[in-house]
Structure 1
Amino acid sequence: MILTVVILLVVLLALGLLFVPIQIFIDTDTGKYYAGLGGLAKASFESDEKELLRVRLKVLFYEHCFYPLTKPSKPTKSKKTKPKRRIKFRQMVRLLKSFEVKRFALDMDTGDYVVNAKMYPIFVFLNQYVASFHINFENHNRLVVDIRNRPYRILKTFINH
């Protein structure tokens, strides 16, 4: 009886993890860059005084910061090489199509008035039909991207085809 309850809980937990949203968020105006797994885990990319990039990793109640651009102090041991598994181009396209772009906003200034004026009609067209595109003449650049997916949709791209 207890074994079936434990197995049932493990299966329900695994099924629940398949439907947890994966979010990738980039905002160049506020400096927020992170990838998250629906409240369970979050990796934030931040600037730091000591290094160029610091990654703050939060998993449930555990928080850890590390610097990915520094070399490890321990010498790495040689590992056995495994044959590389290539991902087909069609599979990669299906994987990219499984992601949803919830928000995309681009506010751009090239610094050249003539180029800005030439890009203005293109940005008006894109703003009307694709996403939020704006051209400005105030030397202000901004990009906001919010991309989401779920693990079951990623698995579905590899299993179905």
Structure 2
Amino acid sequence: MNIAKDISMVWAVIIVSVLGFLAYLLFMPLELCLDTYRDRYHLRIGVLGRAAVEKDAVEIFRIHLKVLFMDFYWRPSDLSALKSRTKKRTSRPKKGKGPDLRSAKWIRLVRTFEIKQFQMELDTGDPITNARLYPVCSILKPWGGDIQVNFRNRNHLLLKIVNRPIYFLNAIINH
């Protein structure tokens, strides 16, 4: 009788753990960050993983993939060598059309994204054009457009976009 209780308790713990993990997967934040001032470009998937584009001494850039506690590095030459090793498949005729995403569905998907932070420093190189853009950028500031025009030849962009998988599913399933 005790063994049956222990087994049911183990199954209950396993089921609760799996449901908790699935709930975390649905509600985990997905963050895209583009920061040209610090040269940081990454996509973070909760605490599970992160893909970043970094400068490299050998090539122009490399991709740093961090999944849980493991680190992987790829250069564009590594990816092209991997592509050439794979066998090319013969093309088969497609049966039917793919999923039809209408413009209304695309708009719903785009609206699920939330811009957490947006800053831009802009210099066109022409002082007259900068002077013309200065009042336009000042007018846009109350609506969340933190765009600054400078005359110091600095162009920077900071953009953080956040989303959650549950919002994607909600936009696709619900009309």
From 1, 8, 30, the equivalent of 2:38 is 30
User: Of the two, which has the highest radius of gyration?
Assistant: 2
1:49 corresponds to 2:60 = no
Relative to structure 1, the CA distance from residue 81 to residue 148 in structure 2 (aligned partners, 3 Å threshold; closer, same or farther) is farther
Structure 1 residues 46, 81: closer, same or farther in 2, change over 3 A? farther
Pairing 1:61–2:69 present:
yes
Pick one of 105, 108, 113 that aligns with 1:91: 105
- When residues 81 and 60 of structure 1 are mapped into structure 2, their CA distance, relative to the original with a 3 A threshold, is farther
Residues of 2 paired with 1:16 and 1:128: CA distance? 35
SS of residue paired to 2:85: coil
Rounded Cα–Cα distance in structure 1 between residues aligned with 2:93 and 2:106? 24
Letter in 2 for 1:78: R
Q: Is the 8 A contact 1:127 1:134 kept in 2?
A: no
Structure 1 gaps, min length 5:
none
Q: Unaligned stretches of 5+ in structure 2?
A: 1-7
Q: For the aligned residues, what is the CA RMSD?
A: 1.8
Aligned-pair CA distance for 1:6: 1.6
Query: Could you tell me how far apart the structure 2 residues matched to 1:68 and 1:81 are?
Result: 31
The residue number in structure 1 matching 2:16 is: 8
CA contact (8 A) 1:25 1:147 kept: yes
Q: Aligned with 1:115: secondary structure? A: helix
1:93 offset after TM fit, Å? 1.0
Shift of 1:16: 1.4
Give aligned pairs, total. 161
Q: Which amino acid aligns with 1:8?
A: V
The Cα offsets for residues 106-144 of structure 1, whole Å up to 9 and x where unpaired, read as 100000011111111111111232221100011000000
Query: 2:104 and 2:61 mapped to 1: Cα distance?
Result: 34
Residue 8 of structure 1, CA deviation: 2.6
TM-score by length of 1: 0.91
- The SS at the match of 1:124 is helix
